[in-house]
Amino acid sequence: MASFASAPGSGTIRTGDGTVTVNPSAPYSGLVILMHGLGDSAEGFADVAEMWARSAPHIKFILPTAPTQPVTLNGGFPMPSWYDIIGLSERSNENCEGIEQSRDTVIKIMEEENKQGLAYDRMMLSGFSQGGAMSLFTGLQLPAEKKIAGVLAMSGYLAGAKQFSLSDAGKTTPVLHCHGTVDPMVQFPMAKKTESTLKEAGIENYELKAYEIQHTVIPEELAYALDFIKRCLPPDESCAVKEKEIDEMSVKELKAAIRKGGLGSQAVGLVEKSELRNLLKENKK
């Protein structure tokens, strides 16, 4: 008996906390967490995730939105930010208040996916600019039992140097760092410094891919990044997440399945567990 979660067409789901989830049409065997840059939201890269998902239908993409908080660099104006940015110099990036809390948020997403049956080595972290910095900071400090398949940083840099310590697992985690040579915001020397710092710390597989662009992404870069994702997370049905049968789901899982199935409007007013189950069963394919 097939589970509801394996039904095709579940598509892109948006939740009230600003998270965008691009679900594959079949049970997934890989996960990419994609983080946006300063002042943006998950919506900023939703189209990129959907494009990648069409070429990698075995991968689920989760795009969280950073908390809104004052940013010193922008005169204390509140905006979505993974951590406070005082400046863009090497010294001003040593502390990055809030980065550890955001790291914990990302790890919590990973832990929830692991509870669903997905191994950590079938997960990747990725991001643009501040989101790329979050990917490096989080993905390269994980312990061996949570080692991931790879890290993709686009126009990112190594932030929070005082809090950062490359783990043994991080040393062997593949990294692709794409960066613009004429980037006026996160300048290319910061990318080179990130590369040299991590290589000196012992990282073994770090590629810095340069493009003659400013602080943005281009199709050529996104295609190269997708190839990297596919190499790190090739299709593997033996790793596919097989979600519970409807009768085995908790209320939380039932509600998640309803959102994933695009049945939210039909669930308005339903409060009993049996009602949620029946809705799923009636729409099961």
Angle at alpha carbon of residue 245, lines to 266 and 6, rounded to 5°: 75
Q: Check 29, 129, 135, 155 and give the catalytic one.
A: 129
Would you say 123 and 30 are in contact if contact means Cβ atoms under 8 Å apart?
yes
DSSP states of 31-96 as a string? EEEEE--TT--GGGGHHHHHHHHHH-TTEEEEE--PPEEEEGGGTTEEEE-SS----SSTGGGS--
Q: Is 129 a catalytic residue?
A: yes
Question: What does pTM read for this prediction?
Answer: 0.86
Task: Return the residue matching tokens 């190499």.
Answer: 231
Q: Is 183 a catalytic residue?
A: yes
Q: Is 84 a catalytic residue?
A: no
Q: What does the pLDDT read at residue 94?
A: 73
DSSP 274: H
Q: What does the pLDDT read at residue 117?
A: 93
DSSP 45: G
Q: Which two tokens stand for residue 10?
A: 């579940």
pLDDT tens, the chain, 285 aa long: 222 233 333 589 898 899 999 998 778 999 999 999 999 999 999 999 999 999 999 999 999 999 999 999 999 999 999 999 998 777 667 789 999 999 999 999 999 999 999 999 999 999 999 999 999 999 999 999 999 999 999 999 999 988 999 999 999 999 999 999 999 999 999 999 999 999 999 999 999 999 999 999 999 999 999 999 999 999 998 988 876 677 877 887 778 777 766 787 888 888 788 888 888 778 765
How far is residue 257's CA from residue 10's CA, in Å, rounded to a whole number?
9
